[in-house]
Amino acid sequence: MPELPEVQTVVNDLRRLGALGACITRVRVFNPRTIATPAPRVFCQRVRGARITDITRRAKFIVLQLDNQHYLLIHLRMSGHLHFVAPDQPRAKHEHVIFSLDDGRDLRFHDTRKFGRMFLTPRIEDITGALGVEPLAAAFTPAVLFDMLHQRARMLKPLLLDQTLIAGLGNIYTDEALWLAKLHPCRRGGTLTRSNVAALHAAIQQVLRKGIRNLGTNLGDGLNHFHLLSDERARNQEELMVYQRTGAPCARCGTLIQRLLVGQRGTHVCPRCQPAGAACRYQARAGDQ
């Protein structure tokens, strides 16, 4: 699933490639399940004729602000991606929603696995209200992270993946941040010292910013993987330190990277840089959350 850097890259591409200011002249929905709310017919009626006045991101949502006092939120989920094509190009099998723009292009939503969703709402909080703090925002401070971790008796990885606490982190960047901060993913959040938390806070922001600079992470060439709208390619996969590097030497100490199951999620660690106590080892085997 695309995480914060991938979604931000799509937002940047949409702005750079001219979607900002475009008017949506027509909407066609070929898979009604893609439209979470309202009903597809109402969705098409309310979006048609609206102009895109802003394009931003909230957590893993692409947010299009429209000039009719509505917000169009797009969640890519596992395999969704957007692309611009000429309107006379035949519709591909998995292009589930097509927005025709007044500049003569189609903006099409392609989703092989059909998990992606779109939401149209006059109140963005109705969709995003339960989401946690943005990890690159000024409100996300080491003190905020310290309180967040110490108020919950859970392991680090499930805590960092909880979108109601920190919005936008996923498997890739959580593994990368924990490696950078030299923290084991099974360690309980309440056991971290303030220096531990400061290192983790810096690591989270560092790996996310690097991911954005590198135009996101693409782990394969098929249509199920992350795609940019432009002809550029994601390159962060070339700089991953632990994620999906099982059996490769750690870039910091040379120890072979291991894969664990933590909270039912595949997790990658360096056993030397991220030492685990006995409790951590038990939790990793048990999949304790």
Active centre residues (catalytic): 2-3, 60, 265
Helix H or strand E segment including 106: strand 106-111
Distances (CA, A) of 221 to 1, 54, 79, 110, 233: 15, 30, 12, 15, 10
Q: In what order do the strands lie in the sheet with 80-85?
A: 24-29, 95-101, 106-111, 80-85
Q: Pull the structure tokens for residue 78.
A: 């596992």
Query: For residue 265, which amino acid is it?
Result: R
Helices 194-213, 171-181: crossing angle, 10 deg rounding: 130
Return d(Cα 168, Cα 54) in angstroms, integer: 20
Burial of 63 (0-12, 13-18, 19+ CB in 10 A): buried
CA atoms within 13 A on the CB side of 268: 23
- What would the two tokens of residue 135 be? 């990890």
Q: What is the C-alpha separation between 130 and 142, in angstroms, rounded?
A: 21
If you count them, how many residues does the chain have? 289
- 222: Cα within 13 Å, side-chain hemisphere: 6
